[in-house]
Amino acid sequence: MADKTIARKASDWRVVSIVPDVCKTPMGGSTPPVPYPVVAELKEAAFPAKTTRVNGEPIVLYDASKTPKTYGDEAGVADGVKSGTVGGDCWPIERSATVRVESRYIVRQDDQFWMNGRQAGGSSQPRGWTKECVLKILCPTDKDKVKLLSEIKLTTAKSITFMDREFDGKNWKSKPFPAGGTSDASSGTIGVLDGDSCQGVAGTFFHELTHQQQPESMSWAEAELDAYTKSEQWAISKGFPETFPGFRTKDANGNFVPNAAKINEFVHQEYPVGVQEIISSGPNKGQVRLTDGTVRPPKVGDVVSGARIAKGEHEVDTSDWKCPS
C-alpha cells in the first residue's frame, strides 16, 4: 500500500463519503430518509497552515482546518437524520500521531472527516470522550479538579472559534483562533470540544480548571503561562506527549520539564496578550488600550480578542462526577 500523503488546500483534493449521509427528503406528503453520497472540496478549506506548503499548496491541519460546505445532499431539505443539517461544514477527525506543522497535527490521505456537520465520513465512527474515560485519567491524582468539574457549568461544542483581529501596519485583519477549550471564571463555565479524545479533553479540563483556580490579580499573560506550564508538567507526569513542539526540555538530571522559554514564546504568539480593546471614539479613536490601562497607536502584530463563536454548543450535567472512594 502506498504511503499516505499530506492533505492540502488544492483543487485536486476532496473528501469523499464512504457511507451515505441520510437526510429527510420531502416526497409528496411524507419526508422519508434518503441516503446521499456527499463530498467536500479541500480547495475551499478555511484555516490551513499559514506559511508551510507542500508542492506550493497550504497544508490542511487537524483541530484548525475545515471546509464550510458539504455537497450532494441538497435535496434533503428536512435535514440529516444524524447531523440535523444539510450542506454543513466538514473537518478532520483523524490525523498523524507524530507530525505537526505550525503547532498542529497534519491530516493525511485516507484520514476520516466529519461531513455535513456531524455525519461520519468513514465506515467506522470514532468515539469521542466520555465521563468514564475522563475520570479514569484524572482520578485519583486530580481529585480537586474533578470536584471543581462537578460544581461548574460545562458546555461542549463541535467547534469553538475566537474571531480575533491582528494589525498588519495599516489595517486590522481577521485572525480567527480555533480553541480546544475555554474558561470563564466569573460565571464558573468551561467549554470543550465534544469530538475530542479522552486524553485530549482530560488535558483541556486540567488546563481550563487551572484557570478557574487562579487569582483574579493575574494578568492574561501570567494566567496563560501558569496554565500551560502546569498542564505540561501534568502531561509529563501522566506519560502523555508534549502539548506543542518544544514545550519540553531536560533538566540537569535528564528528566523532562516544561520549557519556560518556549511556552512564553507560544503564549505571546498565539494569544492576544496586552491589547484590551481598539478605541472606537473620542480623541484617541483608532488607538489601542492595553491591559494596564495605557493608550498608544497600534503596532504590527497587535492582536485584539474577538467574539467567541461555538457551533452546536450544549450543556453537560456534571453534578454526579466524582472519583471512586
Mean pLDDT in the chain?
84
> Would the CA dihedral through 307, 247, 135, 159 be positive or negative?
positive
> Would the CA dihedral through 190, 196, 198, 200 be positive or negative?
negative
Q: Per residue in 236-280, pLDDT tens?
A: 999 887 877 789 999 999 999 999 999 998 888 777 567 889 999
Q: Residue holding cell 480555533?
A: 178
What percentage of the chain carries pLDDT values higher than 70? 91
Give the C-alpha separation, 249 to 117, whole Å: 39
Q: What's the confidence (pLDDT) of residue 264?
A: 92
Q: What's the confidence (pLDDT) of residue 3?
A: 43
- How many helices and strands, by DSSP H and E, does the chain display? 5, 24
- Please give the average per-residue pLDDT across 63-80, as a whole number: 80
pTM to 2 decimal places: 0.57
Q: Per residue in 100-138, pLDDT tens?
A: 888 888 988 888 888 876 655 532 233 468 899 899 999
Beta carbons of 236 and 257 less than 8 angstroms apart: yes
Whether 221 has a pLDDT exceeding 70, the answer reads yes
Instruction: Give the residue among 205, 195, 101, 86 at the shortest CA–CA distance from 145.
Output: 205
Q: Which residue has the higher pLDDT, 195 or 227?
A: 227
- Please give the average per-residue pLDDT across 184-204, as a whole number: 84
Whether 315 has a pLDDT exceeding 90, the answer reads yes
Going from the C-alpha of 160 to that of each of 133, 230, 255, 311, the distances in angstroms are 22, 23, 35, 7
Q: Quick one: cell of 125?
A: 465512527
Q: What's the confidence (pLDDT) of residue 68?
A: 84
Residues in the chain: 325
Instruction: Give the residue among 293, 247, 242 at the shortest CA–CA distance from 267.
Output: 247
